[in-house]
Amino acid sequence: MLKRTLLAAALIGFTGVAIADGHGEKPHANPWSNFSLDNTLQSMPAGDATRGQSLHSQMMCNSCHGENGESPSRNYASINGQPAEYTVKMMLDYRDGRRWEDYKQANIMVKLAQALDDQQIADLAAFYAQGSTQAWGYTKPLDQDMHNKVDHLVRKGDFGRMITPCASCHGAKGEGNEIAPALAGQVPEYFVRTMQAYKDGARHNDVNEGMSQFTHDLTDAEIEALAEYYASLNKQ
Ligand code: HEC
Ligand code: HEC
């Protein structure tokens, strides 16, 4: 039995399609269109940051993501300083089965999101949107060559590889914009993991591959350097 569950988990890792957690099928929502996403975001209730702050500890979000959403661990994403729209979208994506790139990592988020209603999701998102993102404390400084290369990718993109400047969506300082998340101060291990998941197709909750298309031609070294680059930025 245990073996079969492990096998199912391994298959999910490879295909990202067959989704079962040993307790039945997980809901599998249709991919977003710009239209359906806009409509859904507009129909969400207004969030209340004070209620969001209480929920953050009641639901034990703080045990992994830190007191204010700034992750103390290399294993978890920092979620503070995110535009509310992005957090709402992620929670809906976990809840409805659109985001499930890594069984081991995402499982807990799916379970928690399924326990939340729209109002609670809006409240949590309002709380995180209030916080700032600070540089991650343990960055490895990039050598000058790599820094320049990555800085060019961020500000100018790469026409030859059809990579649009990261800054055009994620902001000049990595502060994010609506559904494009803040990247400043993000935990580099999480950044690399999620970029690789976009690249190999395991993370496909982005609308019309609006993010993953830029990852296909990035090398591992570039992804790692981008992670360090953004981790070292303060949003404010
Ligand atoms: C046991 C640890 C744990 C707990 C508790 C937890 N999370 Fe998470 N969270 C994670 C992990 C791991 C990921 C990354 C998952 C992945 O790779 O898909 C994540 C991802 C997220 C993301 C997406 C981050 C991004 O940048 O895309 C959001 C938003 C989030 N969590 C919010 C919450 C909220 C709200 C709660 C409480 C209701 C919560 N988390 C509780 C471990 C946790
Ligand atoms: C056309 C706009 C656009 C461009 C250009 C773009 N992104 Fe994104 N990016 C997005 C959107 C939108 C998302 C959220 C997608 C989703 O819903 O999963 C995202 C998500 C991400 C995430 C996931 C963050 C998290 O917290 O989980 C990372 C990392 C990222 N982008 C890095 C980059 C880098 C590095 C570049 C430049 C090489 C880049 N992006 C270029 C729009 C863009």
Each residue of 187-235: pLDDT tens digit? 999 999 999 999 999 999 999 999 999 999 999 999 999 999 999 998 7
Outline where 43-181 has alpha helix (H): 49-58, 61-65, 84-96, 103-114, 118-130, 144-156, 166-170
* CA separation for the pair 217, 133 (Å, rounded): 28
CA-to-CA separations, 16 to 10, 28, 130, 195, in angstroms, rounded:
10, 11, 33, 15
CATH for 27-127 (1.10.760.10, 2.40.50.140, 1.10.260.40, 3.30.420.40): 1.10.760.10
Whose Cα sits closest to atom 25 in ligand 2?
Answer: 181
pLDDT at position 104, please? 79
Q: Do domains 27-127 and 144-231 have the same CATH topology?
A: yes
The pLDDT of residue 13 is above 70: no
Joined tokens for residue 50: 């004070």
pLDDT in tens, 104-162: 778 899 999 999 999 999 999 999 999 887 788 778 889 999 999 999 999 999 999 99
* CA separation for the pair 123, 147 (Å, rounded): 38
Nearby residues of 231 by Cβ (< 8 Å), 6 or more positions away: 135, 136, 139, 185, 186, 187, 188, 191
Residue in 109, 119, 195, 196 to alter for ligand 1 test, most ligand atoms within 8 A of Cβ = 109
Pocket of ligand 1 (CB under 6 A): 59-61, 63-65, 76-77, 79, 87, 90-91, 101-102, 105-106, 108-109, 112, 124, 181
With a 6 Å cutoff on the Cβ, whether 194 touches ligand 2 is: yes
Residue in 57, 60, 64, 116 to alter for ligand 1 test, most ligand atoms within 8 A of Cβ = 64
Ligand 2 centre from 211 Cα, in Å? Answer: 5
Joined tokens for residue 93: 């994506």
Per-position DSSP letters for 14-38, written without gaps between them? HHS---B-SSSBPP-PPPP-HHHHH
Q: Answer for the pair 89, 37: CB distance below 8 angstroms, yes or no.
A: yes
Q: Domain locations in the chain?
A: 27-127, 144-231
Q: Answer for the pair 201, 207: CB distance below 8 angstroms, yes or no.
A: no
**What residue type is 115 in one-letter code?**
A
pLDDT at position 43, please? 97
The pLDDT of residue 6 is above 50: no
CATH number of 144-231: 1.10.760.10
- Three-class secondary structure of residue 180 per DSSP: strand
Q: pTM to 2 decimals?
A: 0.91
The pLDDT of residue 2 is above 80: no
Whose Cα sits closest to atom 6 in ligand 1?
Answer: 61
